[in-house]
Amino acid sequence: MDDERDASGPGGLPADGHVHSEWSWDATLGSMEETCRRAVEIGLPAVAFTEHLDLTPFRAGFLVGTRPDLVHDGVLTAPPFDVEGFRAAVERCRGLFPGLRVLAGVEVGQPHLHRAALRAILSSGGFDRVIGSLHCLPDGDVAAEPWELYPRRRADDVVREYLAEIPRVVDGCDEFEVLGHVDYPLRSWPTELGPFEPRRFEDEFRQALRAVAAGDRALELNTRLPLDPLLLQWFREEGGRRVTFGSDAHEPAAVGAGLADAAATAWAHGLRPGRRPEAPWQVGAHQHAAG
C-alpha cells in the first residue's frame, strides 16, 4: 500500500537520466566535472551521461556555424564517439563525487539503422543507460532534422512522418531501454503556425506510444520542452508502465532543469520511483521508505 509520503508527492528530485558533456560533439560548453558539481549542489541523486552516438549524416543547417569542421557540402558527419576517453572521465567523476551516482550511457540516434555499430560499442561493457532517439528523417539521399525540414515541407507531414517512424525505431532495435524525446519535432514547431495541438495528432501519437509500451521501453520525459501531460496520459492508456526523466542538458547550468515539474506530472499519472534513484519510475513501484 502507498504510505503517506507516496500520497503526498515525489519529494526530492529524480535522477537526471539524459545529460551531455564534452564527450558529445555538439556540447561545445559541456563539462562532465562541472555538471557533477552542479548536480550535487542542487540535490540530484544521480546523473546519466548519455553522450551522442550519431552515425547518420544529416543536413547541417545552422549547425554549420557550431561545428564547421564536421560539415562538407552541407552535410554534417559526427565524429566517432571516444568510448575510452569517456569511460575514463566517468571513472574520474565517480571518484571526485562519491555521493552522486554517475551513470555511463549513450544516446544513439536512429538506433534501428545502426544496430551493429551500437552492439559493438555496448559489447565493450560498462554502459548503464542506453537512450534511443529519432533525430532525423530520410531526406533524399541523406537525412534531415525536423527543424531543417519544416521550411521545405508541410509541418503536419513532418510530425506525422516522425511519429510513424517511432514503431520502426522500437521494433528495429532491442538494445535501447529508453525512447528519448518522443516530442522532438515539437521543439522546432514553426511559431507562425501557432501553438502545437497534440489532439490533432492523437492517432499518430497513440500509435507511436503503443509501440514504445509494447516494446517494453521506458518513455522519457525530456524537459527541454516539457512533455505535454496528455502524451503521458496516452502512453499510460496504451499500456506504458515506465518513464525516465532527462534535462538533455548540454552545459552544466542546465542539469536537472525542469525535473521537479516532470516528476510531479509522472506522479500524478501513477508512476513511482524504484529502489535505486536512477531506475525508471514504474506503475505500481513502491518507495523504499516505510510508512
Other beta carbons within 10 Å of 38: 19
Does 165 contact Zn ion by CB under 5 A? no
- Candidates 28-36, 90-98, 145-153, 244-252: pick the segment binding Zn ion (CB under 5 A): 244-252
**Cβ-Cβ contacts under 8 Å for 161 (sequence gap 6 or more):** 137
Does 220 contact Zn ion by CB under 5 A? no
Please state the closest distance from residue 19 (CB atom) to Zn ion, in A.
8
Does 204 contact Zn ion by CB under 5 A? no
- Candidates 106-114, 136-144, 235-243, 278-286: pick the segment binding Zn ion (CB under 5 A): 106-114
159: left (phi over 0), alpha (psi -120 to 50) or beta: alpha
C-alpha cell at 19: 545529460
> Which residue has the closest beta carbon to Zn ion?
133
Measured CA to CA, the distance from residue 7 to residue 286 in angstroms comes to: 11
Does 248 contact Zn ion by CB under 5 A? yes
Give the burial string for 45-68 (b: 16+ CB within 10 Å, else e). Answer: bbbbbbbbbbbbbbbbbebeeeee
Show the site string, 116-155: x = touches Zn ion by CB under 5 A, - = not. Answer: -----------------x----------------------
Please state the closest distance from residue 159 (CB atom) to Zn ion, in A.
16
C-alpha cell at 155: 509541418
On whether the CB atoms of residues 144 and 183 are closer than 8 A, the answer is no
Q: Cβ closer to Zn ion: 107 or 148?
A: 107
User: Which residue ranges make up the site for Zn ion (CB under 5 A)?
Assistant: 107, 133, 248
